[in-house]
Amino acid sequence: MGKDVIVACDFAGAEETFAFLDRFTEEKPFVKIGMELFYAEGPQIVRDIKARGHKIFLDLKLHDIPNTVQKAMRVLSNLDVDIVNLHAAGTGAMMRAALEGLTRPDGTRPLLIAVTQLTSTDEVTMRSELLIGLPMEEVVIRYARSAAQAGLDGVVCSPLEAGKVHEKCGADFLTVTPGVRFADGDAGDQKRVTTPAQAKELGSDYIVVGRPITRAVDPVAAYRRCVKEFVG
Ligand code: C5P
C-alpha cells in the first residue's frame, strides 16, 4: 500500500461534491465519503464517484451487534469501495464478523480499519462517561492490538500515535490519520495537528485532509501541496 492523501469530501450533497471534484482535471484524488454525504445521497453517490475513477474510503464507523455489522458489511462490499471502517469498541467478535461480511465470494475485500478513540473524546470524558480509567495512549494501543488480532488492516489515529501503533501492531498495519494542517494554516476544531510533512516523518500511511483542501481558495493547489509534502 503506497502513501496517499485522502480528501475528506464533507459536503452536504452530490452537486457540491461534483463541483468540487470537477476542479481536478489532472489527478483523481482518493476521496473520503462520510455519514453526512452518504445519508443525504445514499449508495448512488459512492457508485458515481467510483465511476469517475476515484478510490473511496467510506467512513461510516459501524458499531452494532456482530450479526448486524456482518450483514451491513456484505452490502457495502458490493459498492466496491477501497476502505471502510468500524469502531473497535464493538469488540473482537464484531470486528471478525465484519471481516467475514466484507469478504466477497472471490476472496477479495475492501480494507477494513478501526476507530480506536474518537479525537473528540479526551481522557476526562473517557473516564467519567465511558468508564475507562486508563491513559489515552494505552487505550488507543490496546484497541489497535485488538483490531490487529481480529485481522483488520489498520486504524484511524492521530499522526502522533502512528509510530507507536506500528511498533505494537507491525509496520504493515495501516495508520490512517486525520488532524492535518499546513504550517501556515488554521487548525479550526482539530486539537492535535501535524503538517503533512510531519505526518510523513511520523510514519502515517494515509493522511485524511478536509478543510485545508476543500475550503482553500485553490483546492487543486492545496491538494498538490499536500501530496508534495506527504508523498514527495
Ligand atoms: O477538515 P478536516 O481536515 O479537519 O477533516 C478531517 C476529516 O477526518 C473529517 O471528515 C473528520 O470527520 C475526520 N476524522 C477526524 N478525526 C477522527 C476521525 C475522523 O477528524 N478521529
**Do the beta carbons of residue 40 and residue 11 sit within 8 Å?**
no
Would the CB of 185 count as within 6 Å of ligand 1? no
In this predicted structure, what is the pLDDT of residue 106? 97
The residue type at 208: V
Q: What is the domain partition of the chain in residue ranges?
A: 4-230
> pLDDT averaged over the chain?
96
Arithmetic mean of pLDDT, 126-150? 96
Could you tell me the three cell numbers for 38?
452518504
Give the closest residue (by CA) to ligand 1 atom 14. Answer: 178
Give the closest residue (by CA) to ligand 1 atom 15. Answer: 178
Arithmetic mean of pLDDT, 75-83? 96
Scanning the chain, the segments in alpha helix (DSSP H) are 14-21, 35-41, 44-51, 66-77, 92-102, 123-128, 136-149, 159-169, 196-202, 211-214, 219-230
Would the CB of 183 count as within 6 Å of ligand 1? no
What digits encode the pLDDT tens for the residues 172-184? Answer: 999 999 999 999 9
Choosing among 3.90.1310.10, 3.30.70.60, 2.30.110.10, 3.20.20.70, the CATH entry for 4-230 is 3.20.20.70
Distance CA 109, CA 132 (A): 33
**Residues acting as catalytic residues:** 61
Residues facing residue 209 across a β-bridge: 7
What is the pTM for the complete model shown?
0.96
Give the residue with greater pLDDT, 1 vs 46. Answer: 46
Q: How far is the CA of 207 from the centre of ligand 1 (A)?
A: 10
In this predicted structure, what is the pLDDT of residue 9? 98
Containing 203, the helix (H) or strand (E) segment is none
Supply the DSSP symbol for 206.
E
Q: Which ligand 1 atom sits closest to the C-alpha of 212?
A: 3
Would the CB of 10 count as within 6 Å of ligand 1? yes
78 pLDDT more than 70: yes
Would the CB of 190 count as within 6 Å of ligand 1? yes
In this predicted structure, what is the pLDDT of residue 74? 97
97 pLDDT more than 90: yes
In this predicted structure, what is the pLDDT of residue 48? 98
Distance CA 114, CA 143 (A): 8
Arithmetic mean of pLDDT, 109-117? 97
Could you tell me the three cell numbers for 102?
466484507
Would the CB of 162 count as within 6 Å of ligand 1? no
What digits encode the pLDDT tens for the residues 13-45? Answer: 999 999 999 999 999 999 999 999 999 999 999
pLDDT band at 1 (very low <50, low <70, confident <90, very high): low
